[in-house]
Amino acid sequence: MKRARSCAASSAISGTCNTRETVLERDGENVQTNDQYQAVSGTRTSPYDGATWTQRDDLDIDHVVPLAQAWRSGANAWTTARRRQFAHDLTSSQLWTVTDNVNQAKGDKDPGGRIRRGHHRRAGERQKRPRR
């Protein structure tokens, strides 16, 4: 399947070109997308456990600072627009592609201790493969 469309190259996040699809594409290698902007192939490595995945259903898009943690830390005073921007922030290193069950197990705890050494990144930077 050829790369049909790219969410990352699109100026609008809407419909099937949503935050999840954009992050799946951004954080993957050899990603192919279909006409609905869905990342249908490629590999992604989770920074939490170092596992490499090819099936999108094995992945979650994690908020490094969970939304509940942000709320407890002051987001409750933000405007709705600011909270929405934070939840879908593609300009910082807030959203990562991670192993789904690892993400679900950590719940809404703060990020301390979850991120494997060498996996910190700057805004817009792709996830790096762990050193073996």
Chain segment 42-55, per-residue pLDDT in tens: 999 999 899 999 99
Classify residue 94: in a domain, yes or no: yes
Classify residue 132: in a domain, yes or no: no
Q: Cα–Cα distance between 86 and 81 in angstroms, integer?
A: 9
Q: Residues 103, 29, 16, 65: what is their CA dihedral angle, to the nearest 10 degrees?
A: 30
For the question of whether the overall pTM of this predicted structure is more than 0.85, the answer is no
Q: Cα–Cα distance between 99 and 70 in angstroms, integer?
A: 22
Distances (CA, A) of 105 to 27, 55, 68, 90, 100: 21, 19, 15, 24, 9
Tokens representing 127? 């996830």
β-bridge pairing 52-53 and 29-33: unpaired
Q: How many domains does the chain have?
A: 1
Q: What is the mean pLDDT of residues 111-122?
A: 55
Classify residue 34: in a domain, yes or no: yes
Structural domain harbouring 81: 19-104
Q: Which of 48-57, 59-68, 105-114 shows the lowest per-residue confidence on average (mean pLDDT)?
A: 105-114
Q: What is the mean pLDDT of residues 96-116?
A: 80
The string of pLDDT tens digits covering residues 10-45 is: 545 555 788 999 999 999 999 999 988 889 999 999
Query: Is the per-residue pLDDT at 122 higher than 50?
Result: no
pLDDT category at 61 given cuts 50, 70, 90 is very high
Classify residue 100: in a domain, yes or no: yes
Tokens 């979850």: give the residue: 114
Q: What is the mean pLDDT of residues 95-110?
A: 88
Tokens representing 74? 């002051």
Q: Cα–Cα distance between 109 and 65 in angstroms, integer?
A: 8
